[in-house]
Structure 1
Amino acid sequence: MADEFYFNTETGQVEQGKQTTWAHLMGPYPTREAAQHALDKARARSEAWDEQDREDS
């Protein structure tokens, strides 16, 4: 859909609508801003999961 946004991990750019292969896309996101922060959000989640794993060990 053209009203969804994706973060392209290969180019580092936000795309409006699905323009490239799924292999390099994160999303969809409802806004351009949300897509721009996709890597930050994924990094934060990963760090939280790593911390939880350390606490569970």
Structure 2
Amino acid sequence: MATEYYYVLATGQVEEGRQTGASGRMGPYASREEAEKAMAIAKERNERWEKDDRAWNDED
């Protein structure tokens, strides 16, 4: 099984494997580098989803 990396919300650190409870982490990510970008990835996804929602509701 490949190593999974998680971004820990409370500390902003990356951990290897599941060490923190599910509600306190984001992931899994395939690499440490990807996990380090977790907040930026989430922000981009949220912005895209909000744009899609506005388009769906004819708000644009």
Query: What is the aligned-residue RMSD (CA, Å)?
Result: 1.6
Q: TM-score, normalised by structure 2?
A: 0.82
Runs in 1 of length 4+ with deviation above 4 angstroms?
A: none
Corresponding residue number in structure 2 for 1:36: 36
Give structure 2 stretches of 5+ with no counterpart: none
- Contact kept, 8 Å, 1:7 with 1:14, in 2: the verdict is yes
Q: TM-score, normalised by structure 1?
A: 0.85
Give structure 1 stretches of 5+ with no counterpart: none
Question: Matched residues, percent identical?
Answer: 46
How many aligned residue pairs are there? 57
Q: Provide the C-alpha distance between the structure 2 equivalents of 1:3 and 1:55, rounded to a whole number of angstroms.
A: 38
